[in-house]
Structure 1
């Protein structure tokens, strides 16, 4: 893996995004999340505005069950829950640099693995990834926020999932 024109040197645990196996919706969620991360790291960037503006392009109608703005808001909720649980910094790639955006940090990978697992109905994998991204701290808030996000970005039709909708993802029994 080369750093490209921006001179970024990949860190231990970084992988090429193209090799991570995330689908286009998950990659769109990653870009939206990166813009929120950037907004918190560099408040004067106002990158949160770009997160909402780009959501429509990254998550076209039909690609998600909710509106793109709803998805962006759900991503913000998940980011906030993760920020509450983590005690140290979060490594993310610059969404505005094509070279950097092609690199997935290990922190970003764990964040997206929570979503991917919930979208596919593998709750135990979601718990493992949530514990990693939250550094072993309580991850219930992140799991709830990611369950809401998963409901808006469902990979499979809800009828093929055990239980029904978000309630099943949240560990509640379906009736």
Structure 2
């Protein structure tokens, strides 16, 4: 199946390292949490912090593109789940390296989409959305995966690559 995230009722969170996400995906967690916080408190500046963190992680040009492309995925998910998405506080140091079930399923969905594992990605979407295969969420996730595929050199499309010509 997928990187199904099944946590026992007494264990509602698990360490990030137990899921096997790559470093790029692990860095998405903080950005996602800030976007969730911004959606839950529209007057907050959490969205700004998400963009700042992305720029700090990957540089301004690349990081801002990551955050800009991740936001529609988070937005579609939150709209679909109607507020029923459990996320840790992005500023809580005690939970920085822990993932809730929902957070882990979200990153697992992107994990499989970025690797073009269609069946596993479909299972991950189904688990994350509680069986609702929402085309807007899938489209946003695939757009993110297309822009930032696993294993690809992380640079923006359209930016020139320097080559030595001899």
* TM-score, structure 1 as length reference: 0.75
Match of 1:24 in 2: 23
> C-alpha separation between the residues in 2 aligned to 1:114 and 1:123?
10
> C-alpha separation between the residues in 1 aligned to 2:126 and 2:72?
17
| Structure 1 position 60, deviation (Å) | 4.2
> C-alpha separation between the residues in 2 aligned to 1:87 and 1:134?
11
| Structure 1 position 116, deviation (Å) | 0.3
> C-alpha separation between the residues in 2 aligned to 1:21 and 1:59?
21
Match of 2:120 in 1: 125
1:81 aligns with 2:76: yes
| Structure 1 position 67, deviation (Å) | 2.0
Match of 2:4 in 1: none
Match of 2:51 in 1: 52
2:108 to 107, 113, 130: 113
CA-based RMSD of the aligned residues comes to 2.1
Which residues of structure 1 form unaligned runs of 5+? 1-9, 159-175
SS at match of 2:43: helix
| Structure 1 position 57, deviation (Å) | 1.5
| Structure 1 position 154, deviation (Å) | 1.4
> C-alpha separation between the residues in 1 aligned to 2:10 and 2:141?
27
SS at match of 1:30: helix
Match of 1:12 in 2: 11
| Structure 1 position 30, deviation (Å) | 1.5
Highest RCO, 1 vs 2 (Cα 8 Å, sep ≥ 6): 2
Which residues of structure 2 form unaligned runs of 5+? 1-8, 154-166
How many residue pairs were aligned?
Answer: 145
Matches within 5 A, 1:95-174: 95-157=90-152
* TM-score, structure 2 as length reference: 0.78
| Structure 1 position 20, deviation (Å) | 1.8
1:91 aligns with 2:95: no
| Structure 1 position 32, deviation (Å) | 0.8
Native 8 Å contact 1:110 1:132 kept in 2: yes
Matches within 5 A, 1:32-51: 32-51=31-50
